Amino acid sequence: MLTKKQLLAFSLILTFFFSICNTKIEGYFTEIDISNVKVMIDISRGAYHNKFFNFKGNMTFSGNTVEINNDSITSLESRSGFFISQPDTGYTIAEKNVIKNFLQLGNRTLFVTGDSDYGGFWSPSHVNDLLDFLNSSLRMGADHMQDSADSLGAWYRLLATGYGNGSIANITKAGCLDGIYFHGSTSVLGYNGTEIIDLRKEDLPNVEVLIFYDENATSADTDLSNTDYDFYAYSSDTGYYPALACEKVIFGDKISYIIVAGEVVFADFKHMYDQFTDTGYLHYGQMFVNNLVNFFLANATNLPDISEFQQILFLSIISSAALIAITIRIKRKKK
What pLDDT digit, counting tens, does each position of 40-54 carry? 999 999 888 899 999
* 208 and 332 within one domain: no
* 287 and 187 within one domain: yes
* 63 and 20 within one domain: no
* 188 and 136 within one domain: yes
- What pLDDT was estimated at residue 1? 56
Q: What are phi and psi of 125, to 5 degrees?
A: -60, -40
Q: How far apart are CA 259 and CA 245, in angstroms?
A: 6
3-state secondary structure of 38: strand
* 42 and 15 within one domain: no
Contacts of 92 (CB under 8 A, 6+ apart): 72
Q: What is the mean pLDDT of residues 169-174?
A: 96
CATH classification at residue 291: 3.40.50.880
Q: What is the pTM of this model?
A: 0.81
CB-count exposure of residue 243 (10 Å: 0-12, 13-18, 19+): buried
Q: Give Cα 8 distance to the centre of its chain.
A: 39
* 146 and 166 within one domain: yes
* Residue 21 pLDDT exceeds 90: no
311: domain range?
Answer: 1-30+307-335
**Strand-pair partners of 65:** 38
Which is more confidently placed, 252 or 9? 252
Which is more confidently placed, 118 or 290? 290
Q: What is the pLDDT of residues 233-271, one digit of tens each?
A: 999 899 999 999 999 999 999 999 999 999 999 999 999
Contacts of 155 (CB under 8 A, 6+ apart): 146, 147, 148
* 144 and 16 within one domain: no
* 326 and 255 within one domain: no
Which one-letter amino acid corresponds to residue 240?
Y
* 311 and 299 within one domain: no
* 294 and 175 within one domain: yes
Q: What string of H, E and C letters represents the secondary structure of 6-46?
A: HHHHHHHHHHHHHHHHCCCCCECCECCCCCCCEEEEECCCC
* 18 and 145 within one domain: no
Looking at the structure of the chain, the number of domains it has is 2
* 97 and 6 within one domain: no
